[in-house]
Amino acid sequence: MKKHVCGMLMIAGACIGLLTGCNSGTKMKNYADYVTLGQYIGVEYTPLSTTVTEEELQAQVDNCLQQWGDTVELTEGTVKDGDTINLDYIGYVDGEAFEGGSTDGAGTSLTIGSHQYIDDFEEQLIGHDVGEEGIEVNVTFPDDYKNSDNTISDLAGKDATFVCTINSIYQTTYPDELTDELVAENTDYETVNAFMDALKMDYENYKKERADQQMKVDLIVAVMDNATVQSYPEKEMSELTEQTIQAAKDGADAYGMEYTEYLNLLQDEEGNPYTEETYRADVEEYIQELLKEKMVVCMIADAEHITATKNEVQEYVAAECAANTSLNEETIYESYSMEELAYAVIYDKVIDFLADNAIAIEE
């Protein structure tokens, strides 16, 4: 059950918005033939701590100090493991420079030991000096080396030589502790005390929000565990399953790939590439989880006379747009039906109802 709330599969995103059935301001679809509610009032949960410890606060300070480091570009020195350098290179295969294998003199940054480049590339730069030219780095492209469109590259499995020039080494020094000067330079606060007060308050708010979110997750999981499903509505199961699979096929088309090839790029919980059969099986399992949640929410809403008015839907949409500037109301109304939007409002109301009637058990 926890797999659903915590995001068991990436496929969830293709079908969450399709769960309808709770009508705005009217009696909702009754799922009594499919599910029986268990306890949903007085459900116990263990709240997360919202107390900010000294260790947590110091970790936040350390993170700030790491961000406020002072970086200079050294024009002399020897490359060591962990250094960030600026270099240029030209790549050759069979003695010929290949497309995309050169910095074209523009320089690029690389941290030695980051494994950002092909195996053994970075290690061969260790011990060379700033300003050194003609450094030969010999590597072999992996057999599964791919182009940007995920097709196997012509370079796959081939030996290559990169002729490199080390332009500079970036050296960053970090402050040891907060000072009023450092705080004033990097924040909206003038003193360490003022900054620390704000930092603690922000982290307390973060922990409270996280605790609230976890409480709601725990409650819906518990309520769903307490419910008993007799069966699933076949029509909804079939429609949601086919729509989710079609969304994956559309994704394959968008990348110019065959459906089976696209599924092979996805992985199940055990890290195995999907086949059409295993993907459908996981989709069906996940749809059942989503439908169980929907049925339970709608049954609670019906029992407690929880509905969504048109004004509440409009307020919900406006709030979503305010929280995410990439959204706009017109697009939302075009993409989702009023039933779907009403369900989103009712879902939030039901979760709030569960929280208001839950019992916190301290550890």
| Domain harbouring 144, CATH code | 3.10.50.40
Stated pTM of the model: 0.71
For residue 160, give the 3-state DSSP assignment. strand
> Domain range for residue 30?
2-38+227-360
pLDDT of residue 28: 56
Examine residue 9 and state whether it is found in any structural domain, yes or no.
yes
173, 200, 219: which is the final residue of a domain? 173
143, 173, 203: which is the final residue of a domain? 173
Measured CA to CA, the distance from residue 298 to residue 18 in angstroms comes to 15
Residues 347/313, Cβ–Cβ less than 8 Å: no
Number of domains in the chain: 2
For residue 286, give the 3-state DSSP assignment. helix
pLDDT of residue 268: 87
Return phi, psi of residue 124, to 5°: -75, -10
Residues 98 and 29 both lie in one domain? no
Residues 232 and 356 both lie in one domain? yes
Per-position pLDDT tens, the chain of length 363 = 233 333 333 333 334 344 444 444 444 578 999 999 999 999 999 999 999 999 999 999 999 999 999 999 999 999 999 999 999 999 999 999 998 899 999 999 999 999 999 999 999 999 999 999 999 999 999 988 888 777 788 898 999 999 999 999 999 999 999 999 999 999 999 999 999 999 999 999 999 999 999 999 999 999 999 999 999 999 999 999 999 999 999 999 999 999 999 998 888 888 889 999 999 999 999 999 999 999 999 999 999 999 999 999 999 999 999 999 898 999 999 989 898 899 999 999 999 999 999 999 987
